[in-house]
Amino acid sequence: MPYIYNLKNTQVPTTNLIGEFECRLDDKSRIILPSALKKQISPEAHDKFVINRGFEGCLVLYPQNVWDETTTKMNSLNLFVKDNRQFVRAFNNGATPLSLDSQNRLLLPKSLLDYALIEREIILFAYSDRIEVWNKKTYLELVSNEPVDFAELAEKVMGNPNKSNNGDGLS
């Protein structure tokens, strides 16, 4: 995966997916990957993905090349450390490889759909190098509960250039 380097000389992936897309599951638990989103996926993914459980009750769809890069980082963890083992297990729990079919559809595993409470209506929320897959109702509730003071949160996460936050933000 190509990288650029920021001022602190840390790797930043050049993949920058963006957008919010409404989809519907068909009767066979497939979704059509929207063409505007498919155009953003690196050819290095070869129309292959990995989906797993995400945070806050969503699923996360990784293009294959991003998944490979992510798991390479995890493979550097010391698995003799209990927290590391627990994290790796939790991260990989339910991870399933997927491939686009000839009609740009992905077959989503029933166990993961059940985990995310997905029945028919889905929101695909693309950001950074991944795509979150949400039950539409859950997603709308999440975004309607945005922080009371977004400016304060932005300052906390993105501000304070004199404080090192060890990867928690960009300062």
Confidence band for 18, pLDDT divided at 50, 70 and 90:
very high
Say which residues have a Cβ less than 8 Å from residue 121's Cβ, sequence separation at least 6.
22, 23, 24, 135, 136, 137
DSSP letters of 103-167? TSEEE--HHHHHHTT-SSEEEEEEEETEEEEEEHHHHHHHHHT--S-HHHHHHHHH--TTS--TT
With a cut of 60, say whether residue 19 has pLDDT above it.
Answer: yes
CATH fold for the domain made of 3-146: Chemotaxis protein chec (3.40.1550)
Say which residues have a Cβ less than 8 Å from residue 165's Cβ, sequence separation at least 6.
171
DSSP, res 77: S
Identity at 49, one-letter amino acid code: F
Mean residue pLDDT of the chain comes to: 88
Higher pLDDT, 15 or 14: 15
Q: What is the pLDDT of residue 168?
A: 53
Q: Is 8 helix (H, G, I), strand (E, B) or coil?
A: coil
Tell me the per-residue pLDDT of 114-170, one tens digit each, with 9 for 90 and over. Answer: 999 999 999 999 999 999 999 999 999 998 887 667 788 888 889 876 665 555 554
Q: What is the pLDDT of residue 14?
A: 58
Q: Is 41 helix (H, G, I), strand (E, B) or coil?
A: coil
Sign of the CA dihedral 133, 135, 140, 145? negative
Tell me the per-residue pLDDT of 46-91, one tens digit each, with 9 for 90 and over. Answer: 999 999 999 999 999 999 999 999 999 999 999 999 999 999 999 9
Domain limits, the chain: 3-146
Tell me the per-residue pLDDT of 34-47, one tens digit each, with 9 for 90 and over. Answer: 999 999 999 999 99
